[in-house]
């Protein structure tokens, strides 16, 4: 069956919440995807920072196959071994104390917001309910995550939103401090590297001041590392490059290499307010997902793997800087690790379209930025190929 025929069928039965490119994918191998007509694409989207080990990874496949023979699912009324092991590994990698597992990034942020509000009620004051989030942030599509998202375009026609959430400009400490003093604040929520907003890393001095402010005012500091976490930044969590630790971190996307999974990690002081009945998820801590996560954690969480992400990042950025020196359309190159944004002086849609025609998948972020979030296993040769196609398309 041809691409158009599949798309005609899809249009009849799938709600059009996405403006999809007219490509129907069939399978992948390493950093490459192949569509139903046999055309190959070098994938620098990676499921939007999900497929950290690429496609058809033998080790990950083996673990998923073995777990599928043992037990796909079991209720959270009981324990399972992969869940306990995954939590142990995450605690060790994060320096935090306790995990809660769910299925997506939005759900992870919901859990973090609920945890912070309960904590504030019990250990601050009855009316300490405010969540301060950042302008241009993205936290997901469920109601609390959507309200925390600092981009009104996602909130259109969805009023009433969740009460007591404020937005301040990212990387602007004065604005944040002012809001934190004006409101009775439960939590500050931010992405250490804003992803959907345009790939903007937080300033080092800013995050340190935010940490101090939260300590001073008994505010729960939540980092949303759904996109920049799980090795993407070159450290396991991006905050580890900033010399500070949040009270809660939300993760998802890459954690199980493509099996849906999310979660939060929190310090004991805050985590202890989640008690039986305060929060739950049927599929959270699912043994198939947590078994896959254990494989990802054993692979991505090693110092050698993370060092490799950093060196691939340097190589990628060096290649892009070379293109920038010869092309006035590039305004800026930003990012951390293998989460790289190239800001151009026009609408990126046409460049993305040309890349796709030439066999390279990239996506946009913010208004004018082209985003590269490839599998973390990308090779130098693949980076050469990606940057060549990108330069030609520009």
Residues forming contacts to ligand PLP in the complex (CB under 6 A) are 48, 104-106, 109, 138-140, 191, 195-196, 224, 226-227, 252
Between 252 and 340, name the residue whose CB sits nearer to ligand PLP: 252
CB of 142 to ligand PLP, least distance (A): 7
CB of 105 to ligand PLP, least distance (A): 2
Sorted by sequence, the CB contacts under 8 Å of residue 360 that are 6+ apart come out as 41, 42, 44, 385, 386, 389, 390, 393
Sorted by sequence, the CB contacts under 8 Å of residue 336 that are 6+ apart come out as 193, 201, 228, 232, 233, 234, 238, 241, 313
- Angstrom distance (rounded) from CA 273 to CA 286: 23
Between 248 and 323, name the residue whose CB sits nearer to ligand PLP: 248
Between 105 and 301, name the residue whose CB sits nearer to ligand PLP: 105
CB of 64 to ligand PLP, least distance (A): 19
Residue 77: phi and psi, rounded to 5, are -70, -15
- 287: closest CA among 256, 253, 249, 250? 256
CB of 143 to ligand PLP, least distance (A): 12
Between 89 and 139, name the residue whose CB sits nearer to ligand PLP: 139
The closest residue (CB) to ligand PLP is 105
CB of 69 to ligand PLP, least distance (A): 28
- 225: closest CA among 207, 197, 248, 259? 248
Q: What is the DSSP pairing of strand 369-372 with strand 330-336?
A: unpaired
CB of 141 to ligand PLP, least distance (A): 6
* 337 backbone φψ class: left, alpha, beta (φ>0; ψ -120 to 50): left
* 201 backbone φψ class: left, alpha, beta (φ>0; ψ -120 to 50): beta
Between 139 and 183, name the residue whose CB sits nearer to ligand PLP: 139
- Angstrom distance (rounded) from CA 129 to CA 111: 15
- Angstrom distance (rounded) from CA 21 to CA 43: 14
- Angstrom distance (rounded) from CA 19 to CA 287: 33
CB of 316 to ligand PLP, least distance (A): 20
Between 103 and 294, name the residue whose CB sits nearer to ligand PLP: 103
> Torsion angle of alpha carbons 266, 164, 195, 249, nearest 10°?
0
Between 2 and 20, name the residue whose CB sits nearer to ligand PLP: 20
CB of 179 to ligand PLP, least distance (A): 21
CB of 173 to ligand PLP, least distance (A): 21
Between 119 and 138, name the residue whose CB sits nearer to ligand PLP: 138
Between 50 and 306, name the residue whose CB sits nearer to ligand PLP: 50
- 94: closest CA among 284, 272, 231? 231
Between 340 and 389, name the residue whose CB sits nearer to ligand PLP: 340
331 to each of 195, 264, 321, 341, how far by Cα in Å? Answer: 18, 36, 11, 11
Between 45 and 320, name the residue whose CB sits nearer to ligand PLP: 45
CB of 373 to ligand PLP, least distance (A): 10
CB of 21 to ligand PLP, least distance (A): 17
């Amino acid at each position: 069956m041809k691409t158009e025929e599949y798309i005609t069928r899809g249009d009849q039965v799938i709600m059009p919440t996405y403006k999809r490119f007219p490509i129907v994918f069939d399978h992948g191998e390493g950093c490459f995807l192949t569509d139903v007509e046999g055309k190959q694409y070098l994938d620098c989207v990676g499921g939007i920072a999900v497929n950290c080990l690429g496609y058809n990874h033998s080790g990950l496949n083996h673990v998923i196959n073995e777990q599928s023979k043992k037990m796909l699912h079991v209720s959270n009324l009981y324990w399972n071994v992969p869940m306990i092991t995954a939590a142990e590994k995450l605690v060790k990698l994060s320096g935090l104390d306790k995990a809660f597992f769910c299925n997506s990034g939005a759900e992870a942020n919901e859990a973090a917001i609920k945890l912070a509000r309960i904590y504030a009620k019990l250990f601050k004051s009855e009316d300490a309910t405010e969540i301060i989030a950042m302008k241009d942030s993205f936290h997901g599509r469920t109601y609390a995550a959507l309200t925390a998202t600092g981009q009104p375009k996602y909130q259109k026609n969805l009023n009433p939103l969740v009460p007591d959430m404020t937005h301040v400009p990212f990387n602007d400490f004065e604005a944040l401090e002012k809001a934190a003093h004006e409101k009775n604040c439960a939590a500050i929520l931010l992405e250490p590297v804003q992803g959907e907003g345009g790939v903007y890393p937080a300033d080092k001095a800013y995050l340190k001041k935010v940490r101090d402010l939260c300590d001073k005012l008994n505010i729960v500091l939540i980092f949303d590392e759904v996109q920049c976490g799980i090795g993407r930044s070159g450290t396991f969590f991006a905050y580890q490059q900033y010399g500070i630790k949040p009270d809660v971190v939300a993760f998802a996307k890459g954690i199980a290499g493509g099996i849906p999974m999310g979660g939060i990690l929190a310090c004991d002081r805050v985590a202890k307010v989640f008690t039986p009945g305060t929060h739950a998820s049927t599929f959270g801590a699912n043994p198939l997902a947590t078994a896959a996560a254990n494989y990802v954690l054993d692979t991505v969480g090693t110092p050698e793997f993370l060092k490799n992400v950093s060196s691939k990042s340097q190589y990628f950025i060096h290649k892009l800087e070379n293109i920038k020196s010869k092309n006035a359309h590039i305004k800026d190159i930003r990012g951390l690790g293998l989460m790289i944004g190239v800001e151009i002086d026009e609408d990126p849609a046409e460049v993305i379209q040309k890349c796709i025609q030439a066999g390279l998948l990239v996506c946009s972020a913010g208004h004018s930025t082209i985003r590269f979030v490839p599998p973390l296993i990308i090779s130098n040769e693949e980076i050469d190929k990606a940057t060549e196609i990108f330069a030609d398309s520009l």
